[in-house]
Chains A and B, each alone.
Chain A
Amino acid sequence: MCDSRRVTWEGCSVLLDINDGDRLVFARLSPAAKLKIGNKNCSLQPLIGRAFGTVFQVETAPEGPYLSPVQVNAYNGEEVRDGQVNVDLRDQVSDNNAEEVRDGQVNVESRDNRTLVDNNTAQSLTGEDIEAMRRQGARGNEIIEALIANSATFEKKTSFSQEKYRLKKQKKYAPKVLMRRPGSRSICEAYFKKYPSKIGFLRVDTLSLLLSMANVSSNSDVLVVDMVGGLITGAVAERLGGTGFVCNSYYGQTPYSMDIVRIFNLSDEICRRILRSPISDLLSQKELPEQIVQHDDVCNAKIQSNDQISASASVEEICHSSENGISELGAENTGPAVHKAPKAGEKAQKEMIDSWKENGFSSLIIATPELDTWTLVRDLLPLLANSAPFAIYHQYLQPLATCMHNLQLEKMAIGLQISEPWLREYQVLPSRTHPCMQMSASGGYILSGTKICTS
């Protein structure tokens, strides 16, 4: 990312990561925008003009709660604020063995949980006690220390367990808000985690493969059929970087939703490169059989009736705040001070379409969960330049298998391959390294290949 985009500005889009991914909120920064954390409503004003990657914490003040930037040292939980250092009670665990060094003494990790009984009696502070502390202006961290001090079982826990306990209390009493920069990676991950159906269950590694396999690069004209909310369109535009064009095409006369493109913080020049066109306009006159018309009706009917398709046709989608899902805040803000996001998705003009027909598109990406892959590819492949690569995403294997088979029979492409990416994350901690307990079972399938010259 260029320098100018590493600091937020009024009207920019941000991804608010609350408590390490527990809650993800896309917001547009403006003086009026607010974020609800727990039962407190905080203004997002302090976030404007700050670097992406800044972490904020809720502070109490006479005027009300506000978000304040925090220097978090993830190494051992030390927090530095206003020059004061709160030294943590937690110990460093050396990576040779589970020895603990505390105040110069060496304790071999011999604690375990054999005597811990979970009967809800360990904590002696009550809810009222905590409220009283809060009213007296106690900071989140002070409450957490108090909880630890009043826990009968804390000392008996292993250091790992103590760490877990502390983190749990931190999430509740001192929630952290990390302001992330929206980009293809962060947007895809957020949606895949919280609202995957909206992006057709397209996982971030699968998206990255689509972009590579389709050779998306500057000065290319990429043809895209995007029924995953605009995620692919935005990702392609980002990689084009203000050069070339991405043509977001669709059957019938109603464009598919491209809401997600708005979240990207794309520059004006990049947005200008995102064009839309009905597929019928792209095909030359002789290729407009009645099949296309029928296809439109079938498609539109499917889109309206099938609630599994989350790609809504309306641009002003209103998402309501939910604890478990993705919310978009500030979108309804129309104050004069707010910088309006530049318009992406202008209709492609005739000269542009003629140029595409003359030269062919550099590559093709398709992500259409509910359309038949083969008919789409059969219609669109002729629009590609010779030797142009293509990448087709589908959640299901069968449509891609049929498509690949037909492409082989018709000799329209070579280098055909169906790939299924497998992604696994690891937890890497001293003496506790292993693959994560949870894993995504599927990120979908990709059919890729290269169009050959058929003349």
Chain B
Amino acid sequence: MLVSDPAKKLSSNRSIGNGDLVIVYERHDNMKAVTVSEGSVLQNRFGVFKHSDWIGKPFGSKVFSNKGGFVYLLAPTPELWTLVLSHRTQILYIADISFVVMYLDIVPGCLVLESGTGSGSLTTSLARAVAPTGHVYTFDFHEQRAGSARDDFVRTGLSNLVTVGVRDIQGEGFPDEFTGLADAVFLDLPQPWLAIPSASKMLKQDGTLCSFSPCIEQVQRSSEVLQTSFTDIRTFEILLRTYEVREEKLESIQGNGSNASLPCKRRQCSDGGSVISSPISSVMARPCGEARGHTGYLTFARLKCLI
């Protein structure tokens, strides 16, 4: 997914090869991650697609099934991955993810500590942000989920950038070996205040921390504990509203005054005559009906500077 070798970057000249991970796009709300394998097929409501047909085609191609249906094959990105990955836990979505990466000031070369790993949604974006020289150390207390995450990172080509550890961060804190080395720490735990003292020891001077909590009581408790060693403690929520777009022909009815039930658009001109408006075609946008109301609160803080 991420390009560690400049020769392999996303290019119009690069084509899909055996073993590549592709994102099969059926519709904007229907996508699937598939690892291309010579001899395999993908079967969906559009028909049967042979992987061998895909090999050699450029990413972004439209490919056809035996029945003439089609899908698009896209190159994987952390955004697309978040939409297709298998949910072992509740995940973070793009709005929270983007904000976290920006607000923690994560740039290439950073060392980031994360707990819990969950399904690896955020971890994938953290890896992108620290590449090629940084690293993400992520911890989860659930051994099986840690294993699934590790498999995912191999599949998406991120295993050089991400190390998954099995550890109970709330109970034991982060490993001592990271003391004073972390540029940023991210916590998505039920009781993050238990991990905050350890996090403060892991961070470099002026390092940043973020805690994601669904409940305001957790936020209050965390904020209080943060005050000992942190400053700039700020809590946000971020949501995305999406819009749908349609072209509408707004007809105006040509009335002669006797048709009282339908309004008629007449404009008075300066010479006293009136003009009837002609149909206008316009592209209109309106907010989508469904929206997410809440994901969680993001509490950010910066390690206090000791002089």
Contact = CB atoms under 8 A, between A and B. Distances in A.
A74 B227 CA distance: 7
Contact of A6 (B3, B125, B204, B243): B204
B223 interface: yes
B60 A2 contact: no
Interface in A292-326: none
Given A1-B105, A185-B102, A421 B219 contact: no
Interface in B267-307: 283-285, 287, 297, 299, 302-307
Interface in B210-259: 216, 219-220, 223-224, 227-228, 231, 233-243, 245, 247
Contact of B307 (A71, A414, A421): A71
A218 interface: yes
Interface string B1-24: 011111001111110000000000
A426 B297 contact: yes
Contacts of B245: 401, 404-405, 408, 418
Contacts of B183: 1
Contacts of B187: none
B132 interface: yes
Contacts of A207: 102
A212 B235 CA distance: 21
B72 interface: yes
A240 interface: yes
Interface in B94-123: 94-95, 97-99, 101-103, 105, 107-110
A419 B12 contact: no
Interface stretch (B73-81, B137-145, B148-156, B167-175): B73-81
A219 B28 CA distance: 27
B240 A386 contact: no
B125 A415 contact: no
B128 interface: yes
Contacts of A358: 11-13
Interface in A336-374: 358-360, 362
B34 to A, nearest CB: 14
A51 interface: yes
Interface stretch (A35-43, A52-60, A100-108): A52-60
A234 to B, nearest CB: 12
A259 interface: no
Given A241-B108, A387-B74, A418-B242, A53 B79 contact: no
Interface string B151-190: 0000000000000000000000000000000010000000
B102 A386 contact: no
B54 interface: no
B46 interface: no
A421 B6 contact: no
A125 interface: no
A135 interface: no
A212 B97 contact: yes
Given A208-B101, A219-B3, A362-B9, A74 B231 contact: yes
A204 B60 contact: no
Contacts of B60: 386-388, 450-453
Contacts of B14: 385
Nearest to A424: B237
Interface string A382-394: 0001111100000
Given A404-B245, A405-B283, A415-B28, A218 B108 contact: yes
B79 A424 contact: no
B197 interface: no
A3 interface: yes
A379 interface: no
A205 interface: yes
B232 to A, nearest CB: 9
B131 interface: yes
Contacts of B72: 414, 452
Nearest to A435: B237
Contact of A212 (B6, B79, B108): B79
Given A69-B307, A219-B132, A359-B13, A211 B78 contact: no
Given A181-B206, A239-B107, A426-B235, A420 B102 contact: no
Given A205-B95, A208-B99, A53 B223 contact: no
Nearest to B3: A219
A414 B10 contact: no
Given A69-B307, A219-B6, A420 B74 contact: no
B46 to A, nearest CB: 15
B99 A183 contact: no
B59 interface: yes
B32 interface: no
Contacts of B4: 219
Contact of B11 (A51, A213, A360, A428): A360
B58 interface: yes
A220 B305 contact: no
User: Nearest 8 CB-CB pairs, A to B?
Assistant: A241-B108, A386-B60, A387-B60, A208-B102, A387-B59, A53-B305, A359-B11, A401-B285
18 contacts: A51-B305, A53-B205, A75-B228, A209-B95, A217-B3, A359-B12, A385-B14, A386-B59, A386-B60, A401-B283, A415-B28, A420-B242, A421-B95, A423-B237, A428-B223, A450-B74, A453-B57, A453-B60
Interface of B: 2-6, 9-14, 25, 28, 57-62, 72-75, 77-79, 94-95, 97-99, 101-103, 105, 107-110, 125, 128-129, 131-133, 183, 204-206, 216, 219-220, 223-224, 227-228, 231, 233-243, 245, 247, 283-285, 287, 297, 299, 302-307
Interface of A: 1-3, 6, 51-55, 69-75, 95, 181, 183-185, 204-205, 207-209, 211-213, 215, 217-221, 238-244, 358-360, 362, 385-389, 397-398, 400-402, 404-405, 408, 414-426, 428-430, 433, 445, 450-453, 455
